[in-house]
Structure 1
Amino acid sequence: MRTQPVIAVVGPTAAGKSDFAVDLALRLGGECINADSMQLYRGMDIGTAKLDLAERRGVPHHLLDVWDVTVTASVAEYQKLVRPLIESIDVPILVGGSGLYVRAALDDLRFPGTDPAVRAKLEAELAERGPQAMHERLRGLDPKAAEAILPGNGRRIVRALEVIELSGRPFSATMPSYRAVYPSVQLGLEVPRPELDERIELRVARMWEAGLVEEVRRLLDQGLAQGLTASRALGYAQVIRYLEGEWTEEQAFAETVRATRRFARRQESWFRRDPRVVWLPYDSPDLLGLAHEVLEGARH
């Protein structure tokens, strides 16, 4: 078991987590471990704001470019990959905004099995009846799970109903708790909302300039449209609709900005619910000093 805490850098997209994690790693002799579900995909570089080799500044980065774009993301698979890394690195620094992935790394989060026949039956029902009706059914069986899952999120609704059917227990019993497996210090980067909205628009503009449309076109040749998870990623889903002639490029850009802002709000509310996250102002002139104080406090 670890005695030194795992450090996690969390918060909404465009808050500056990746660069800050590198600064921390250089200060502490640490190594970065990706906790962004979309940065696990090979070739999804521009649209996920993946640091290039120069931007990593010599700091080892783990769990980038693991999956092909046709693979469906699996937080259970991520947990299997991340735990041995955490145990083998002296100063592991988790970095990313995928809240469930951070929790899968740090907390006592278990993943019930799956049954292809039950899953297929529920997916057929979803296709026939739609997510709203399935969500109502989930509410009747497990109100707590229904509260936590958005009514439009058909994939998670199906998973919850599958677990209930297979285990005979509420899906909410398997949902993340705050029971930690490792000691950890979670540092959240806090950005005032108007500034975050501006930063998101600027980031999307830079992605477009860097060649996001060409990146998506290239990935479509590698099967991106068949990837259940990757094809729905922010920016990628919108550019696909432009390339398929459904939207203009201007619409795809505007929708990417809008969807990313909405996503950032969801990320923030997820991390705000976790009482263990210590929030630091992203633009503090002594951000590293503040982080150092928090880490020192955690050690005593």
Structure 2
Amino acid sequence: METLNSIECFVRSAELGSFAEASRQLGLTPAAVGKNVAKLESNLGVRLFHRSTRSLSLTEAGERFRQEVSGGLQSIQSAIANLANVGGQPAGTLKVSMGSSFGRDYILPLLGDFLARYPAITPDWHFDNRQVDLIGQGFDAAIGGAIDLPPGVVARQLAPAHRILVASSAYLAARTPIRTPADLAEHDGIRLRSPQTGRIRSWPLRNRGHEQAALEMRTRMILSDPEAACQAAQMGLGVALVSLPHALIYLERGTLQRVLPDWYADGGSLALYFAAQKLLPGKTRAFVDFIVEQFREQRLAERFSAL
């Protein structure tokens, strides 16, 4: 019978297209991964990969074998992970990706309660505004918005991802009033550059009556971080369009005001992403259920809504 290690080396190499990439994810050397795959090929009596100095691709038999074993490998790994629970409680390292300021403001404050409930789980939380490869980089879960679902990943919606216009009271007092979206053309805009694409996205505005309007402002500055955009707006440097979770703290403190409160931009949903497995590891299931529970108890979906 083939060892789980050899099959895992094959599956990861097939997914990533490289022994070297697979070795980094598995914590082995490229030579060890290649040796395990060669041993698997020898035992099966078929060639699984076409190899060259520049590329690694599956043979027809290799592709068929990958399709047949991938799902079973995930189930076996999940079962092993769940058996590793301590005293019947979820255990292990929990690798999660989340936005920098969002994670610090809303998820990190939950850490104490989470650890008290699940003392055998070790959080390995990554605060980064860039989208990660959930499966390829070995993450158990990720929290974010407007992410295209790759194969093998599912999303649990947490809240709307609405964006609103904000500015300081000092800025608004010194400028012409903003009563309609058309008035924004006479104002300084604090624009955000997407860390994923590098583009400056132009969001259309909409209101409760389902009317739409273009967002047109003079570009005063371009920033890549929503927290920086809120701080620049707080300094009276212009009007910023930011997601409600980032703006909410400033609004509650009174250092920013909402501009055109009947208008907002719809960015889709804020969601919790994790692997699509019938048997999730206990640590992942515990985290998913805990975050969903906290969002419900703190009414974060309502607080993050612009409506």
* TM > 0.5 fold call: no
**Interval of TM-score (by shorter of Structure 1 and Structure 2):** under 0.3
TM-score after normalising by structure 2: 0.26
More strand by share: 2
Largest Rg, 1 or 2: 2
TM-score (norm 1): 0.27
Larger % of helix: which?
1
